[in-house]
Structure 1
């Protein structure tokens, strides 16, 4: 008999368990090696690429467990090491190429992005929708702001990257603009992808010039004080249309690409 904690296993059960653990570890190591090789092809040095979150992700995937905590760990570690969100997401796409998959699932990306932002954009709390957001979903998210005391000086920004390759380019452009310019985002920063090419977010309207200098395809409009007007604005920006609901504070008109 073999002892496992407070339980006793028969020799056969203990051997079966050992084989399962061995296979699990071997599969995780093989996946990690394939990921490492793909990362090296894209310029990562092995000593820079590996962090504990790499092991956490591969073990979760091989073990069939929820991987979102592992992706959050990886996002924090990439941010702490000074890597941008573009590099972090590109590396995860490399993993899914090795898995012959179309790309990482939205919940995994959300976990990684929010954890990365929690380090690089602190004290801002980024709230990213996992999947594509409808106009109704956007209205519901922004309605939460109006139920509380709505802070002044906010604007809605829509970033669009036509023919985006991975579907996350617009988001990475906006987040990296935030790392270069302090106070781009409000303390609570809801973000939502309305299509593979477009992301809509809440920013500070005094950061409009900095956002435009960093991103080519962008529309920005001051957030109306009235929820009904805000809902219409958000829906139009989410669908890629213009706005007639006021412009930037200071007399400017809504920016266009």
Structure 2
């Protein structure tokens, strides 16, 4: 067996052991109130797990974890509680102070210049922006013309049972491809960690585009594609967005 094969095997063993640690950590955080659970995973979670399983210094991975939590809009107390859940899983009586400090410093750094309209993992406009965009349409409908009623939400939904890493990777690729697909000023937004919603004007071309999405990008990534017209009132639209952001098991 060559050196390359040995290296690949060792790397595979590290990844496997890290995943075995990641799963109970995620469950413990969920038990301690991390809702929705699908928003918990980030690449920095894997960095922490891999560092622990290889005996590497955890300071830098914890800093990265804090930065990622801040960029996602997670409060520092919630981020620290998540780190404490990790400590319980690996059997620490207390999380080392150096790691608490590293996460907190990362959280402060990650919060500086944070773009509150962009999801840090996928680069898509986030759910807050989606809600703002829809609200603006209804305000326009009240003041000038019925703009909201001329729009649809095009939903692209991944299988929520996918491994979080695979789902995140597909979301990143889907976001890139959808931004290239929609070229008439549509808003491509992350509705949840398994769904992308596109605010699009109801035009004759839209129906053809949805068919193309189903047979093309959607089929390639195992994603369902459908469209929903925006309802008559903003209250109903808010309820619709609530449903899109809710984990499927709760619907």
**Same fold judged by TM-score > 0.5?**
no
- For the aligned pair, the TM-score class normalised by the smaller chain equals 0.3 to 0.5
- Determine which structure has the larger helix proportion and give its number: 2
TM-score scaled by length of structure 1: 0.40
- Determine which structure has the larger strand proportion and give its number: 1
Which protein has the larger Cα radius of gyration, Structure 1 or Structure 2?
1
For CA contacts below 8 A with separation 6 or more, give which structure has more relative contact order: 2
